[in-house]
Amino acid sequence: MPRILGVDIPKEKRIEISLCYLYGVGRALSNKILKETGIDPNKRGKDLSEQEISSITTTIQKSGLRVEGDLRRDISQNIKRLMDIGSWRGLRHKRGLPVRGQRTRTNARTRKGPRKGGMAVIKKSEPAKAAPKAAAKPAGK
């Protein structure tokens, strides 16, 4: 498996798709990178030479694109800043609720997590009463 920026790229998939395994790289950016390096998008990951892999890596680094660790760090810092200043979005992140105005009465299970156990009402059992009156009747007629 070829490694680009510390990520293993699938060897059986086309390089156009394989570059999408990098965090922050989609199909459009993948095609743009391949066009700049002059690599055929239909080439498989296993068919790439070391020179082609290094040219892809240098193209990504020189273009100033934030991918992988840098991008993850930036996003987490942005969310932390929102929480620190106490904005609405920051509070929603803190509470683990949907941030962008989705409804929470139903749905929203992805953000809220699995349902908490419902508070089932348990009736207290009544204390045992005295012997029933039917048993007190004399048996004889």
For residue range 116-131, list pLDDT tens digits in order.
876 766 777 766 666 6
Query: Which residues lie closer than 8 Å to 9 by C-beta, 6 or more apart?
Result: 1, 2, 3, 15, 18, 19, 21, 45
Report residue 3 as tokens: 């490694």
pLDDT per residue as tens digits for the range 79-89 = 999 999 999 99
pLDDT digits (tens, 9 = 90+) for 46-99: 898 999 999 999 999 998 889 888 999 999 999 999 999 999 999 999 999 999
Write the DSSP string, 42-100.
T-BGGG--HHHHHHHHHHHHHTT---THHHHHHHHHHHHHHHHHT-HHHHHHHHT--SS
Backbone angles phi, psi at 137, to 5 degrees: -70, 140
Tell me the one-letter amino acid at 5.
Answer: L
Q: What is the pTM of this model?
A: 0.68
Beta carbons of 19 and 56 less than 8 angstroms apart: yes
* Distance from C-alpha of 89 to C-alpha of 99, rounded to nearest angstrom: 6
